[in-house]
């Protein structure tokens, strides 16, 4: 009940703002509890909640004015009760603020570009191979340079003619590129030679994805740095996106250790099945006869829906040649054997407008969102005159030791470092601040280059405080954000106080509710009703004459529905316990379509048919209009009591707080 009443109020007043400066041509319209409300503020709110470019209706304007005054008085009462100082209120408003700040604390242009880039990439599937030379993301300059030189030497070999697959198997530190010898637990596994198969946007980490989508087919990229190390990417195919597909297949398996004759036999069997399909035999029938995939055999060979990155490349290539539902491929070889694949359903990529919201969510959660944040931080630094002292930072290279990687470094090591480090706007941060930041952020981890570590932690600190400074200045920079925050503030206050004085009070105040009901009970009347018993004989399982006799006996013997003797009669009439459905209740007009069809006179009504069902209704008694009990009408009585409490409350607020309407200003509104 409380939510039904709350949200219309919020929608009515969800653009209240204190940012309207009073000007000579913007006179005060209202003085409410010490607050001046200008004509332009009131009009803006009024027009926000009414159709624009429509003539102002004086009656509607007056009604709106009264609601507006009530709202302002409630907010004033909340402030007087200091509801805006409570921890719960601050936490709730803070939670809303965190959500509302997000669009303001990124570079929207960069985010929009990332969304469009992601969609454009979504329209293409890429197949690529890679060679990985590992280097830790926090590696020092020497290790980084060593890895870079190594990967460049490998690239030079490939450019000069070396086979990419062979080099990957030999040099890549992605173990999937190499053959895995057999063990007692598993057979040998052939390496992929660096082949990652097909993939699309969001399937790979962003730098790798970008490298794959910006490298020409057949070319080998320059080294691409990711958190894993350096990658060389060779793009082997790029084609129109497959989207989502569902297929069925027939598998003729070929064991990995199969002999040549067994392999040939499997191929001949697959060709035979394919020939039968070409001759018109049904795919489902051939699945039952031939497939070795027991998991899909009972489903006509059907496989779960998949995207391009969820299936082996040979499947993807073969499926891409199928044009319409029901088309099937020639036998396709995989590590499992020969497959004949039938296209069941294909879902193309939807238009940009249909996917933009989903893409935006993925971009926000993805590594690529850092581009937007970094751009925002750069612009914020420039806007608020960011300065830094790099010499002061370098002094930490001498005082930070490897003990920081065992979480035992002490800030006392930097006790003599107290100079300024960086500033943003009117905020300054010192070397002491950075020492405390290092001390708080240290954790047990593998040792790394001290300079790299210090620089990384410094960037974290700078980004954090630049971001925080921008956050703290949103209200002064963006009047619309300030207004929005006031809307949420006033809305929360209004909700809490109205809940206390109206909604929850009406539910908890049982004595007051009873008194209100006693005073107003004649407002809650039943109209003409009947006490009726309904018999429904389903699906013609009981003969019409027998059904009528059963109901007549119910009336003659004055049975009730739970009378054991009558229950036995029902059981005797049919062996099916679901064949007869009975119910008894009191009905007003409109409560039951069958009761509405019959004459309201005591006794057995005429038969009603509904399809194969027979309905017989007994009018036990006609009921004259009477007062509803509190329990019978509690919902509507509680709602009316809430309205009553609100009227009493508003009256008390209008008596408590002064308010004045400047009539000539109000009359000037056209």
pLDDT at residue 259, as a whole number: 86
Closest CA to 383 of 469, 305, 289: 469
If one counts every other C-beta atom within 10 angstroms of the C-beta of residue 178, the result is 19
Indicate the SS3 state at residue 78. Answer: helix
Instruction: Tell me how far apart the alpha carbons of residues 545 and 1 are, in angstroms, rounded to a whole number.
Output: 50
What percent of the chain shows pLDDT beyond 90?
78
Average pLDDT across the chain, whole number:
91
Q: Is the pLDDT of residue 163 over 50?
A: yes
Find residue 230's DSSP bridge partners. 133, 225
The residue-averaged pLDDT of 223-236 equals 96
Instruction: Tell me how far apart the alpha carbons of residues 473 and 101 are, in angstroms, rounded to a whole number.
Output: 11
The residue-averaged pLDDT of 212-226 equals 97
Q: Which two tokens stand for residue 594?
A: 């069958």
CATH number of 526-627: 3.10.50
State phi, psi for 231 to the nearest 5 degrees. -120, 140
Comparing 377 with 15, the larger pLDDT belongs to 377
**pLDDT of 602-650, one tens digit each?**
999 999 999 999 999 999 999 999 999 999 999 999 999 999 999 999 9
Per-residue b/e over 341-362, b at no fewer than 16 CB within 10 Å? bbbbebeebeeeeebeeebbeb
CA 562 and chain centroid, separation? 50
Helices and strands per DSSP (H, E), number in the chain: 27, 20
pLDDT at residue 269, as a whole number: 95
pLDDT at residue 79, as a whole number: 93
Instruction: Tell me how far apart the alpha carbons of residues 339 and 600 are, in angstroms, rounded to a whole number.
Output: 72
Count how many Cα atoms sit within 13 Å of the Cα of residue 386 in the half-sphere of its side chain: 15
Q: Is the pLDDT of residue 439 over 90?
A: yes
Q: Is the pLDDT of residue 1 over 60?
A: no
Indicate the SS3 state at residue 426. Answer: coil
Establish whether domains 124-240 and 244-347 are of one fold: yes
Find residue 427's DSSP bridge partners. 424
Q: What is the DSSP string of 352-399?
A: HHHHHHHHHHHHHHSTTHHHHHHHHHHHHHHHTT-EE-HHHHHTHHHH
CA dihedral 566, 567, 568, 571 (to 10 degrees): 130
User: Are the beta carbons of 657 and 31 closer than 8 angstroms?
Assistant: no
The residue-averaged pLDDT of 380-397 equals 97
Q: Is the pLDDT of residue 527 over 50?
A: yes
The residue-averaged pLDDT of 515-541 equals 94
Comparing 551 with 569, the larger pLDDT belongs to 551
CATH number of 124-240: 3.10.50.40
pLDDT at residue 189, as a whole number: 80
The residue-averaged pLDDT of 325-344 equals 94
Instruction: Tell me how far apart the alpha carbons of residues 559 and 553 are, in angstroms, rounded to a whole number.
Output: 8
**pLDDT of 300-313, one tens digit each?**
999 999 999 988 89
Instruction: Tell me how far apart the alpha carbons of residues 12 and 70 are, in angstroms, rounded to a whole number.
Output: 12
Q: Is the pLDDT of residue 390 over 90?
A: yes
Q: Is the pLDDT of residue 51 over 80?
A: no
Largest CA distance in the chain: 106
User: Are the beta carbons of 73 and 30 closer than 8 angstroms?
Assistant: no
Count of residues making up the chain:
670
Closest CA to 41 of 16, 58, 64, 70: 16
Q: Is the pLDDT of residue 416 over 90?
A: yes
**pLDDT of 487-523, one tens digit each?**
899 999 999 999 999 999 999 999 999 999 999 999 9
Residues 6+ apart with CB under 8 A from 201: 118, 119, 121, 122, 209
**pLDDT of 136-161, one tens digit each?**
988 888 999 999 999 999 999 999 99
* H/E stretch holding 463: helix 450-472
pTM of the model: 0.73
**pLDDT of 254-264, one tens digit each?**
987 788 888 99
pLDDT at residue 6, as a whole number: 37
Angstrom CA distances, 256 to 70, 273, 484, stand at: 81, 22, 66
**pLDDT of 447-465, one tens digit each?**
989 999 999 999 999 999 9
The residue-averaged pLDDT of 40-59 equals 74
Instruction: Tell me how far apart the alpha carbons of residues 69 and 74 are, in angstroms, rounded to a whole number.
Output: 9
**pLDDT of 15-35, one tens digit each?**
333 333 344 578 999 999 888
pLDDT at residue 13, as a whole number: 39
Residues 6+ apart with CB under 8 A from 213: 121, 124, 126
Strand 229-240 to strand 124-134: parallel, antiparallel, or no bridges (unpaired)? antiparallel
* H/E stretch holding 650: helix 634-656
The residue extents of the domains of the chain are: 124-240, 244-347, 385-472, 526-627
Closest CA to 425 of 391, 389, 385: 385
Count how many Cα atoms sit within 13 Å of the Cα of residue 227 in the half-sphere of its side chain: 4
| Residue 54 binned pLDDT confidence (cut-offs 50, 70, 90) | low
Residue 69's Cβ-count burial label (10 Å; 0-12, 13-18, 19+) is buried
Topology of domain 244-347, per CATH? Chitinase A; domain 3 (3.10.50)
């Amino acid at each position: 009940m409380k939510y039904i009443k709350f949200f219309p109020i919020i929608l009515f007043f969800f653009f209240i703002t204190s940012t309207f400066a009073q000007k000579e041509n913007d006179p005060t319209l209202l003085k409410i509890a010490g607050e001046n409300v200008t004509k332009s503020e009131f009009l803006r709110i009024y027009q926000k909640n009414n159709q624009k470019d429509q003539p102002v209706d004086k009656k509607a304007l007056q009604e709106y004015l009264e609601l507006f005054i009530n709202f302002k008085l409630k907010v004033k009462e909340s402030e007087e009760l200091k509801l805006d100082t409570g921890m719960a209120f601050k936490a709730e408003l803070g939670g809303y603020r965190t959500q509302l700040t997000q669009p303001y604390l990124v570079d929207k242009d960069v985010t929009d570009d990332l969304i469009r880039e992601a969609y454009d990439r979504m329209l293409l599937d890429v197949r690529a191979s890679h060679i990985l030379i590992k280097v830790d993301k926090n590696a020092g300059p020497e290790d980084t340079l060593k890895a870079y030189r190594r990967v460049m030497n490998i690239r030079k070999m490939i450019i000069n003619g070396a086979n990419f697959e062979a080099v990957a198997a030999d040099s890549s530190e992605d173990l999937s590129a190499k053959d895995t010898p057999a063990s007692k637990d598993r057979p040998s596994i052939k390496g992929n030679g660096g082949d990652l198969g097909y993939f699309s946007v969001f399937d790979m980490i962003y730098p790798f994805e970008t490298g794959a989508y910006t490298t020409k087919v057949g070319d080998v990229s320059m080294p691409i740095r990711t958190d894993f190390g350096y990658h060389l990417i060779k793009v082997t195919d790029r084609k129109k996106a497959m989207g989502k597909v569902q297929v069925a297949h027939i598998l003729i398996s070929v064991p990995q250790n199969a002999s040549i004759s067994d392999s040939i036999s499997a191929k001949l069997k697959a060709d035979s099945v394919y020939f039968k399909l070409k001759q018109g035999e049904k795919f489902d029938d051939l699945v039952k006869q031939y497939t070795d995939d027991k998991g899909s055999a009972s489903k006509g060979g059907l496989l779960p829906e998949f995207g391009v990155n969820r299936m082996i490349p040979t499947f993807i290539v073969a499926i891409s040649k199928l044009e319409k539902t029901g088309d099937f491929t020639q036998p396709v070889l995989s590590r499992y054997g020969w497959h004949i694949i039938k296209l069941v359903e294909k879902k193309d990529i939807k238009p940009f407008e249909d996917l933009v919201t989903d893409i935006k969510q993925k971009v926000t959660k993805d590594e690529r969102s850092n581009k937007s944040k970094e751009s925002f931080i750069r612009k914020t630094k420039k806007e608020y005159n960011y300065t830094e002292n790099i010499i002061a930072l370098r002094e930490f290279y001498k005082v930070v030791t490897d003990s920081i990687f065992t979480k035992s470094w002490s800030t006392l090591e930097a006790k003599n470092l107290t100079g300024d480090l960086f500033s943003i706007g009117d905020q300054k941060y010192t070397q002491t601040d950075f020492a405390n930041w290092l001390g708080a952020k240290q954790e047990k981890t593998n040792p790394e280059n001290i300079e790299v570590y210090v620089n990384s932690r410094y960037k974290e600190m700078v980004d954090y405080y630049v971001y925080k400074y921008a956050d703290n200045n949103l209200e002064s920079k963006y009047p619309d954000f300030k207004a929005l925050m006031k809307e949420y503030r006033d809305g929360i206050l209004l909700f809490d106080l109205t809940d206390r004085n109206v909604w929850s009070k009406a539910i908890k105040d049982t004595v007051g509710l009873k008194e209100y009901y006693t005073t107003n009970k004649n407002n809650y009347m039943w109209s003409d009703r009947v006490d009726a018993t309904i018999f429904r004989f389903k699906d013609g399982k009981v003969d019409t004459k027998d059904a009528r006799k059963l109901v007549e006996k119910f009336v003659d013997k004055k049975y009730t529905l739970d009378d054991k003797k009558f229950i036995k009669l029902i059981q005797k009439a049919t062996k099916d316990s679901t064949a007869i459905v009975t119910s008894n209740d009191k009905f007003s007009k409109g409560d039951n379509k069958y009761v509405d069809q019959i004459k309201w006179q005591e006794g057995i009504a005429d038969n009603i048919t509904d399809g194969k069902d027979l309905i017989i209704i007994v009018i036990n008694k006609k009921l004259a209009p009477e007062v509803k009990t509190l329990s019978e009408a509690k919902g509507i009585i509680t709602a009316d009591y809430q309205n009553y409490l609100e009227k009493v409350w508003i009256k008390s607020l209008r008596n408590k707080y002064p308010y004045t309407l400047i009539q000539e200003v109000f009359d000037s509104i056209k």
